[in-house]
């Protein structure tokens, strides 16, 4: 089995745990590969290095991420393009998408023995035009249309089949997948959804209206979004937490279910709602 290991070395003790992962997997006769940027830290380990990150992902059977949810989300952009399943080892704080915690590394033998299931997560395709050229992005967690830091509130419009279905006056709007429902959307008052479901959740940020409620659409709904400001404010689009572009007033942003999915490896059979109760209950802050 060929495994691509992607550690986030900015996480506390991530290097230490990555070394443990390498030893366990090597002892289980797995072939291990990393990006060339990791060579300085892991040059003396039984690992081969790729100079091209996409080739690293493409050539391996499994992508193993040592980090938090953000690291898993970043790696998903590449893994989904080549239909590779991912296993996350949580060295972050919440770790909703991780398949193992750091005290469960002995379970890596189940990975090598093929004793796992794959959970597919819906992704969104986000598209808009910039400089006359269509930009297309695959999103696992959420898209956020928001005002700049010194800007006034926005008038946001949501359309379906060329008809307006929602309008908000707010600081912004979060559009998320079920996977993203436990992230920014949840903090803004949105619902928690089982991540294996298909749906698109709209949650306004600080709405200036009594009726500024969350709306949930079916997964196959194709939506269009636009924003305007009465004060020529900056309008920012971020995707999965990364800044993408400044958006012009009334510029149309389209979002729909992607044909791609993120495939997450599950070595344990834990109910999502039990995990959510544990994570949202604050236990992670006591560790």
C-alpha to C-alpha distance for 254 and 264, rounded to whole angstroms: 26
Select from 11, 84, 93, 87 the least CA-distant residue to 280. Answer: 93
Select from 13, 7, 66 the least CA-distant residue to 287. Answer: 13
242 is catalytic: no
Q: Which of 35, 37, 69, 242 is catalytic?
A: 69
Identify whether the C-beta of residue 119 lies closer than 8 Å to the C-beta of residue 196.
Answer: yes
Residue 84 structure tokens: 């590779």
Helix intervals (H) in the chain: 14-27, 39-42, 53-59, 69-79, 108-112, 184-187, 272-280
3-state secondary structure (DSSP) of residue 202: strand
C-alpha to C-alpha distance for 109 and 242, rounded to whole angstroms: 35
C-alpha to C-alpha distance for 32 and 77, rounded to whole angstroms: 21
C-alpha to C-alpha distance for 257 and 52, rounded to whole angstroms: 29
> Which residues are the active-site residues?
69
């Amino acid at each position: 089995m060929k495994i691509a290991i992607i550690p986030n070395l900015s996480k506390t003790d991530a290097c230490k745990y990555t070394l443990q992962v390498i030893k366990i997997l090597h002892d289980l006769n797995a072939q291990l590969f990393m990006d060339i940027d990791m060579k300085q830290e892991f040059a003396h380990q039984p690992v081969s290095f790729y100079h091209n990150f996409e080739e690293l992902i493409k050539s391996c059977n499994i992508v193993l991420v040592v980090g938090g949810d953000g690291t898993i989300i970043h790696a998903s952009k590449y893994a989904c393009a080549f239909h590779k399943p991912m296993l996350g080892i949580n060295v972050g704080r919440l770790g909703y998408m991780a398949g193992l915690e750091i005290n469960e590394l002995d379970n890596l033998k189940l990975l090598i023995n093929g004793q796992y299931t794959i959970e597919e997560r819906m992704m969104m395709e986000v598209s808009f035009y910039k400089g006359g050229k269509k930009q297309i992005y695959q999103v696992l967690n959420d898209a956020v249309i928001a005002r700049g830091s010194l800007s006034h509130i926005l008038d946001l419009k949501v359309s379906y089949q060329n008809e307006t279905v929602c309008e908000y006056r707010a600081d912004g709007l979060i559009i998320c997948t079920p996977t993203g429902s436990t992230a920014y959307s949840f903090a803004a008052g949105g619902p928690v959804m089982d991540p294996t479901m298909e749906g698109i959740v709209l949650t306004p940020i600080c709405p200036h209206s009594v009726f500024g409620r969350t709306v949930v659409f079916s997964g196959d709904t194709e939506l269009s979004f636009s924003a305007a400001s009465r004060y020529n404010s900056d309008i920012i689009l971020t995707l999965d937490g990364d800044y993408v572009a400044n958006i012009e007033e009334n510029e149309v942003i389209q979002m729909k279910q992607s044909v791609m999915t993120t495939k997450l490896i599950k070595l344990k059979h834990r109910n999502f709602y039990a995990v959510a109760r544990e994570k949202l209950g604050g236990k992670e802050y006591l560790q």
